[in-house]
Amino acid sequence: MAKLTEQRPDPNQLLRQVQAEEQEQRGSKLKIFLGYSEGVGKSFRMLDEGRRRRERGEDVVVGAVQPKVPDEINSLLQSLEVISCKTIAGVPVMDLSSIVARHPQVCLVDGLAYDNPPGSAHATRWQDVQELLAAGISVIASVNLQFIEERRDQVEKITGKHVTATVPLSFLKAADEIELVDAPPELCMVRAAQGTKPGSVLATRQQHLSELREIALVLAADVVDHQLEAYMRSHGIEQLWGAQERILVYITPQASSSKMIESGRRNAERFHGELFVAYLDQPGITAKDQAALHSNLSLARAAGAQVVTLDGDDPVDAILEFAKARGVTQIFVGQTSDRGWRDRLFGTTVDDLVRVAQGMDVRIFPK
Amino acid sequence: MYLGYAAGVGKTYKMLEEALELKHQGMDVVVGYVEPHGRKDTIAKVVGLELVPRRKVQYKTATFEELDTDAILQRHPQVCIVDEFAHTNVPGSERTKRWQDVQILLDAGIDVLTTMNVQHLEGLNDQIWQITGVRVRETVPDWVVKDADEVIMTDLTPRALLNRLERGVVYAPDKARRAMENFFQESNLVALREMALLQTAHEVEVRQSTQDEVEDVLRNLKPGALALTPQAASQKERILIHVTPAPASAALIRRGRRVADYLHADCFAVYVESEEDSKRAPTPEFEALEKHLSFARNLHIETRVLQGKDAAKVLVDFARQQGVTQIFVMRTHENGWPHIFGRDLLRQIVHLARDMQVTIVAERGRSAKL
């Protein structure tokens, strides 16, 4: 491994380089505070950051606030300049032209998920934010998990509440920084002042909150991982590394692939990691094997795996090359049958893989 | 527990914020130990909370201050604030680790709020080393953290943290500069942060499934309720770790334990001793082995020493008899260890254990700059 990595550029240097390039291009930055529920303290954290930046001499204005705010937030708002939203057809809409004309360094936007009424410059508030960024104004915004488009259904199943206005995940991923605001569920409940409900409802709500927390944490980890990976990939770092478990299930017509895929799915889920299912593209495969492969691949897709076709004569080389490039931490392979003296003398695919796999686990499954 | 990924992300601050909120709600809250590191926002938070004076300990020529567990027990508040959970007490203290002091408080019915960084988790030790090049010595077994009622992530973006460092909020300028050149490199921080987020997600998930399991049991107690299907019961995984005197066993134990935690599996560790071994006088290898087995026990892994000539056969037979679903074995670099720890044994195990999963853990090397 050492040999491979010695030629690699220093990731820190790369990080800085890329950041500098980005900053130069746009001049403005987007930072998003993500919370798993109301009452976690997103708004407070965001406005408090605004206050501190202002104290350090940055020109900060508030471009949008939530309709109802608790006292502690009110007192924070007192210390900041606010450009109030306009209310059009009962909907609060950011006063874009006033903000752009005022042109602060930083604009705080509490609540990203709003649909603007027809006739507005943009259909949604997050698109308003894009305009501010394009105008060279940095934005610090807050959003709740339930408003992330790609997580909406999942959250709705837990809470039973339906929301209409959403923000796409890609918008979060494109942000310069995302910060997760976590807090004990009990505190959230106290803050959200739902203390009058009977115990069983409270317990249910606590269970909901904990499920939402898990989704938010994994989402934030995913965004962080995405950033790290993008930096490394764009700079030709050969073997990716990171904090996440990445599982590669290698299937063949002989192995009991469905069990391996199911195990891979469960492991990836428990580790909040990534799952790949790979097979070697072999010419002259029998119709029966072809059918088995097809059914396994659809199983893999249903399990949320990324299906990978490997090329090459040697499965071991192909597996390893892919595993290194994608930062795989665990390879699942099926036990091969001992095919006689040759295997005993020279070893099987599994033997070879075990011998050469560096820095990853190889898990061998029964036939 | 407030979990973070580095000094300066705001764990202590967040903890004190909750402490003040609890006090406001009428709880009896005291500070047992807080290390403000001269950070003024943090210091401001301590004001207004009752402090239990720290215990002064003389060690060699210096005086150290530690948590005064006895004094807190006597004072017996509802909630006690104890910073830096992973801290190692000064030699001569009643308990080696601060987390052990915390357990005493919890046993006495005192609630504790505490802080820790993710890199102090035993189970992440090898991965942290791989990424940062730092071998963290002050570690906390994962089960201790799992015992916490709640783990809260203290998040801050690495850039904001680096800004804080540069402004001298976290450390004095000299220390800050050194920190930024080493552990606080941005790529390290990004990876550590991701680990902390995923660890917290895991802690949340574990607590939910414990809840689910409890509910399952309750449901089963009701008359007419569906019993757990045999299938569900048999799906429970059992992991067996094969321990040898090789130094790499420590990493294998950590990895096995970690996978077991994530799969909610039972976990035990076994060493197979040949008959000649058992007759021989203690050797350095034997001591290394003892160390590994006791390390495993500290991580709440049941250990067993088996005897027999054919290590692979003894191991696999035992695994089968115990209903093991997965055997963990180490592949060490072939660097002159006696060949019985090497490839042949490994191949024999794989060959014999054809009815269960065998996980071969390759020793994690550290690459140039990771």
pLDDT at B214: 64
Q: How many beta carbons lie within 10 A of that of residue A211, not counting itself? A: 19
> Closest Cα of chain B to A163: distance in Å?
24
Between B250 and A314, where is the model more confident?
Answer: B250
Assess if residue A9 is contained within a domain: no
pLDDT at B72: 98
**Are residues A322 and A194 both part of a single domain?**
no
Q: In whole angstroms, what separates CA A274 from the centre of its chain? A: 11
**Are residues A56 and A196 both part of a single domain?**
yes
**Are residues A89 and A113 both part of a single domain?**
yes
**Are residues B17 and B84 both part of a single domain?**
yes
| ipTM surpasses cut 0.90 | no
Q: Indicate the residue among A180, A213, A234 that finishes a domain.
A: A234
We report the CATH number of the domain holding residue B350 as 3.40.50.620
Assess if residue B165 is contained within a domain: yes
**Are residues A64 and A203 both part of a single domain?**
yes
Assess if residue B72 is contained within a domain: yes
Hey, is B23 helix, strand or coil? helix
Assess if residue A212 is contained within a domain: yes
Inter-chain CB proximity B359 and A10 less than 8 Å? no
We report the CATH number of the domain holding residue A97 as 3.40.50.300
User: What residues of B are in contact with residue A360 (Cβ under 8 Å)?
Assistant: 362
**Are residues A129 and A255 both part of a single domain?**
no
Interface check for B59 against chain A (CB to CB < 8 A): the answer is no
Print the domain residue range for B41.
Answer: 2-207
Average pLDDT in chain B: 86
Q: B residues 170-199 near A, CB within 8 Å?
A: 185-187, 190-195, 197-198
> Closest Cα of chain A to B263: distance in Å?
7
3-state secondary structure A323-351: HHHCCCCEEEEECCCCCCHHHHHHCCHHH
Query: A190-216, pLDDT tens digit by residue?
Result: 776 644 445 556 777 888 999 999 999
**Are residues B147 and B35 both part of a single domain?**
yes
Instruction: State yes or no: pLDDT of B183 exceeds 90.
Output: no
Print the domain residue range for A213.
Answer: 27-234
Assess if residue B213 is contained within a domain: no
**Are residues B316 and B260 both part of a single domain?**
yes
We report the CATH number of the domain holding residue B113 as 3.40.50.300
**Are residues A230 and A86 both part of a single domain?**
yes
Assess if residue A86 is contained within a domain: yes
Instruction: State yes or no: pLDDT of B369 exceeds 50.
Output: no
**Are residues B199 and B235 both part of a single domain?**
no
Instruction: State yes or no: pLDDT of B58 exceeds 70.
Output: yes
User: Please, are residues B31 and B46 in contact by the beta-carbon 8 Å criterion?
Assistant: yes
Tell me which residue has tokens 């973070």: B4
- Comparing CB atoms, the residue among A15, A357, A367 nearest residue B354 is A367
Assess if residue A322 is contained within a domain: yes
- Taking CA atoms, A330 is separated from B197, B243, B363, in Å, by 21, 20, 13
Q: How many beta carbons lie within 10 A of that of residue A198, not counting itself? A: 7
We report the CATH number of the domain holding residue A301 as 3.40.50.620
pLDDT at A171: 93
**Are residues B197 and B234 both part of a single domain?**
no
> Closest Cα of chain B to A33: distance in Å?
10
- Taking CA atoms, B33 is separated from A343, B125, B144, B256, in Å, by 62, 26, 19, 34
pLDDT at B221: 53
Assess if residue A332 is contained within a domain: yes
Closest Cα in chain B to A16: B186
**Are residues A173 and A287 both part of a single domain?**
no
**Are residues B324 and B248 both part of a single domain?**
yes
**Are residues B167 and B285 both part of a single domain?**
no
In 3D space, the residue among A262, A213, A260, A223 whose CA is nearest the CA of residue A243 turns out to be A223
Closest Cα in chain A to B4: A182
pLDDT at A285: 85
Write out the two tokens for B15. 């903890």
Query: A314-324, pLDDT tens digit by residue?
Result: 889 999 999 98
Assess if residue A132 is contained within a domain: yes
Inter-chain CB proximity A181 and B155 less than 8 Å? yes
> Closest Cα of chain B to A205: distance in Å?
13
pLDDT at B52: 95
Q: How many CA atoms lie within 13 A of B25 on its CB side?
A: 15
**Are residues B178 and B287 both part of a single domain?**
no
**Are residues A193 and A48 both part of a single domain?**
yes
**Are residues A277 and A300 both part of a single domain?**
yes
**Are residues B128 and B261 both part of a single domain?**
no
Q: Indicate the residue among A234, A260, A292 that finishes a domain.
A: A234
Assess if residue B84 is contained within a domain: yes
Assess if residue B369 is contained within a domain: no
Q: Indicate the residue among A234, A269, A288 that finishes a domain.
A: A234
Cβ-count burial A308-347 (b if 16+ within 10 Å, e if not): bebeeeebbebbbebbbebbbbbbbbbbbeeeeeeeeeeb
Number of structural domains (chain A) is 2
Q: How confident is the model at residue B194 (pLDDT cuts 50, 70, 90)?
A: very high
pLDDT at A335: 83
pLDDT at B112: 98
pLDDT at B338: 42
pLDDT (average), residues B188-212: 89
Inter-chain CB proximity B357 and A179 less than 8 Å? no
**Are residues A107 and A196 both part of a single domain?**
yes
Assess if residue B100 is contained within a domain: yes
- Taking CA atoms, B64 is separated from B7, B12, B42, B90, B350, in Å, by 21, 21, 21, 7, 53
**Are residues A309 and A186 both part of a single domain?**
no
Instruction: State yes or no: pLDDT of B337 exceeds 60.
Output: no
User: What residues of B are in contact with residue A205 (Cβ under 8 Å)?
Assistant: none
* Type of residue at A239: Q
**Are residues A251 and A337 both part of a single domain?**
yes
DSSP-assigned states of every residue in B85-152: TTPBPPTTSSSSBHHHHHHHHHHTT-EEEEEEEGGGBGGGHHHHHHHHS----S-B-HHHHHTSS--E
Number of structural domains (chain B) is 2
pLDDT (average), residues B191-216: 85
Q: B residues 343-362 near A, CB within 8 Å?
A: 343, 346-347, 350-351, 354-362
Inter-chain CB proximity B204 and A360 less than 8 Å? no
What is the side-by-side strand order in the sheet with B2-4? B50-51, B29-33, B79-82, B111-117, B2-4, B152-153
Q: Where in A286-329 does DSSP place strands (E)?
A: 306-310
Assess if residue A21 is contained within a domain: no
Write the burial class of residue A2 (CB in 10 Å: 0-12 exposed, 13-18 middle, 19+ buried). exposed
Assess if residue B18 is contained within a domain: yes
Q: How confident is the model at residue B226 (pLDDT cuts 50, 70, 90)?
A: very low
Q: Which residues of chain A have pLDDT under 70?
A: 1-26, 192-201, 231-242, 255, 337-347
Query: B115-136, pLDDT tens digit by residue?
Result: 999 999 999 999 898 888 889 9
C-alpha B6/C-alpha A212 separation (Å) is 25
**Are residues B169 and B60 both part of a single domain?**
yes
**Are residues B118 and B258 both part of a single domain?**
no
- Comparing CB atoms, the residue among B127, B159, B194 nearest residue A228 is B194
User: Please, are residues B287 and B249 in contact by the beta-carbon 8 Å criterion?
Assistant: no
> Closest Cα of chain B to A116: distance in Å?
30
Assess if residue A15 is contained within a domain: no
User: Please, are residues A323 and A353 in contact by the beta-carbon 8 Å criterion?
Assistant: no
- pLDDT over 90, % of chain B: 61
**Are residues B51 and B187 both part of a single domain?**
yes
Inter-chain CB proximity A12 and B185 less than 8 Å? yes
User: Please, are residues B328 and B294 in contact by the beta-carbon 8 Å criterion?
Assistant: no
Q: Indicate the residue among B144, B176, B207 that finishes a domain.
A: B207
